[in-house]
Structure 1
Amino acid sequence: MLLTAPLLSKSTFFGSLVNKCRPAAIANFSVSTNVTTSARTLEEKLGLPPRPKKPLTPYFRYMQEQRPKILAENPKFSTTDIVRVLSKRWSNADAALKKRLQDDYKREQQEFVEIRAKYEAKMTDEQRAELKQLKQDVQDAKDRRMMRKRIKELGRPKKPASAFLRFLIQERTNSPQTPKQTYREWHQKCTEKWSRLADKEKEVFLIESRKDMEVYKKEIALWEEKMVRLGNIDVVRHGNLIDPPEPKPKIIKPIA
């Protein structure tokens, strides 16, 4: 059986991952799920119903029930204040209350296990493969963001602007974008102007770019040597390492 839901517009999918998703085939889906609708899950981004959500633990259920009361009593409380009060009240809470919440949690947990089993049973092998690939894509994107942040914190020299980018910067002053122009239109106009420039005119930008690139190469070499000495091998370009790490295995998608 096939899991389906109303297909989502590709324009709403984040970043470049949209083109990697294929819509699921149409079929009925009737499993009741305990999910939130505040944010779309990975399943929803693939056009599938959202995965069943785990029930709240007794402590978090208590926080959910008591938070409005504390806010009503203390409207100026910050989130930190609320959590501090809730934590103290929970430690002093009546045993009968804790037992009720624990019993509710056990019952909801059992229901969750059953609903999840029905949900997963309706997924096709293709849907599982797509979901696995999407999870990997999301993790890879997260890893890249973390790496960029780490490299910035470690003070990696910034690569200089190319000749064309220097030309664009100049055009922002000489021929700025008009209110009636989109950035794409302005950029296209600059690209066409660049292609029409004589080699002698381009050479001005090329010389500046080459000069800065030579400085950058020296700076990045010194920085990478320092990173190796400090043990930060992961931020060094693999081509500069004697024993580079093994590349991550690529997941081959099944042919549709």
Structure 2
Amino acid sequence: MAPLSLMSVSTVLVKTLGLFSTATAVRCSCIAPTLKHFSTTVGGRPKRPLTAYMQYVKAQQPLVVKQNPDIKVVDIVRKIAQQWRTLTPEQKRPFEEASLAAKEQYKLDMQKYEAQLTPAQTAAIAEERRQKMAKRKAIRKKRELNTLGKPKRPRTAFNIFMAEHFEEARGTTMQGKLKSLLDDWKGLHTSQQKVYVQLAEDDKIRYKNEMKAWEEHLTELGREDLIRRKEKTPKKLAVTKGGKKSQVKVLKAKAPAKKTAPKKTTARATEKKTESKPKK
């Protein structure tokens, strides 16, 4: 397997080498968000350093294209990856040293770049980085759940209706078809909609049963971290005479106070009490 994926290599080739025609760039439009990460302006964020493998790609790409003028982008990447796997550690060492030098220079450039940022810019960059990390984490978690066979969510009544009548829907665009299906759904009689409502209720039961079995399976695998947390039930709302809703607090009944036994009076205490009384 190549050290980097085909998409990652294609991204660097498009940006760093600029060798492909407009048509090729259009075919690679799916990786445009990744290319944005490498773009820099005057005084902007420094470019990330190339790895040893990408240093090798940068050096070998012109030779491969020169020897094979009609070769495709994917074939270029595949051919260079095969060559890299056959290199000895001694042959890879110059590219690894170049990569280390680029990393050291990148650290110095980043220090200069961060020193010129204002506190507001630093906070904005940190927030953007946090959002990206959260998005990546959510994508990874979703992929993991799908790999573990998480059941599909239940469909609504309209979703079931739309799936059955999508091909025959009016309109040439996706938006037009959806609008026509929504109009058809609103035009259905209540008795006709009840059929799809019942199907949706059955799908909810299916989802509930499958989720229960799936979570039991996760427990057996030791992945309790992926099990849904039960939400706390909200406090009940009571409607007052004025029509306003107020929260009803549930008060626990207090246990009755324990009866304390009367204090025993000793003979000495009785004698003192008698002495304290005034004589008539």
TM score, norm. by length of structure 2: 0.55
Question: What does residue 205 of structure 1 align with?
Answer: 196
**1:148 and 2:142 aligned:** yes
Query: Post-superposition shift, 1:68?
Result: 4.2
Question: How many angstroms apart in 2 are the aligned matches of 1:49 and 1:183?
Answer: 43
**Could you tell me how far apart the structure 1 residues matched to 2:147 and 2:98 are?**
48
> Residue 146 of structure 1: CA displacement?
1.5
Residue 41 (structure 2) pairs with residue 41 (structure 1) = no
The separation in 2 between residues aligned to 1:101 and 1:114, in whole angstroms, is 19
1:121 to 1:230, Cα distance in 2 relative to 1, 3 A = same
| Higher relative contact order (CA closer than 8 Å, sequence separation 6+) | 1
SS of residue in 2 equivalent to 1:239? coil
8 Å contact 2:218–2:224 — kept in the other structure?
yes
* Pair 146,102 (structure 1): closer, same or farther in 2 beyond 3 Å: closer
Alpha-carbon distance in 2 for matches of 1:198, 1:80 = 62
Equivalent residues of 1:56, 1:105 under 8 A apart: no
Counterpart in the other structure of 2:132: 138
Aligned position for 2:229: 238
Return the TM-score normalized by structure 1.
0.60
Aligned to 1:218: 209
Inter-partner Cα distance in structure 2 for 1:184 and 1:197: 20
For residues 92 and 130 of structure 1, do their structure 2 counterparts lie closer, same or farther at Cα, with a shift above 3 Å needed?
closer
Q: Alpha-carbon deviations, 1:104-137, whole Å to 9, x = none?
A: 965x666544433332223222222222222222
The answer on 1:53 being equivalent to 2:47 is yes
CA distance in structure 2 between the partners assigned to 1:104 and 1:149 by the alignment:
32
**Aligned match of 2:175:** 184
2:122 corresponds, among 121, 128, 131, to: 128
Matched, 1:118 2:112: yes
| Residues 3-61 of structure 1 deviation map (CA, whole Å, 9 limit, x = unaligned) | xxxxxxxxxxxxxxxxxxxxxxxxxxxxxxxx9598112887xx996521244467764
Change (3 A) 1:56 1:183: closer
Answer whether contact 2:46 2:109 (CA < 8 A) is retained.
Answer: yes
Structure 2 CA distance for partners of 1:59 and 1:137, relative to 1, 3 Å: closer
Confirm or deny that 1:172 pairs with 2:166: yes
Shift of 1:237: 0.9
Larger Rg: 2
Q: Tell me which amino acid in the other structure corresponds to 2:131.
A: D
Is there any run of 5+ residues in structure 2 with no aligned partner, and where? Answer: 1-14, 19-31, 233-280
Aligned length: 195
Identity of aligned residues (%): 22
Structure 2: how far apart are the matches of 1:125 and 1:238?
A: 38
Partner of 2:230, secondary structure, is helix
Instruction: State the alpha-carbon separation in 2 of the partners of residues 140 and 167 from structure 1.
Output: 35
1:199, distance to aligned residue in structure 2 (A) = 2.2
Structure 2: which amino acid aligns with 1:41? H
What is the DSSP-based 3-state SS (H/G/I as helix, E as strand, rest coil) of the residue aligned with 1:238? Answer: coil
1:71-129 CA-partner distances (Å, limit 9, x unpaired): 767998723321034x32x6158x9xx5x9959965x6665444333322232222222
**Aligned counterparts of 1:103 and 1:167: Cα–Cα separation in 2:** 60
* Separation in structure 1 between the aligned mates of residue 202 and residue 103 of structure 2, nearest angstrom: 64
Tell me, yes or no, if the aligned pair for 2:53 and 2:84 is still in contact at 8 Å. Answer: no
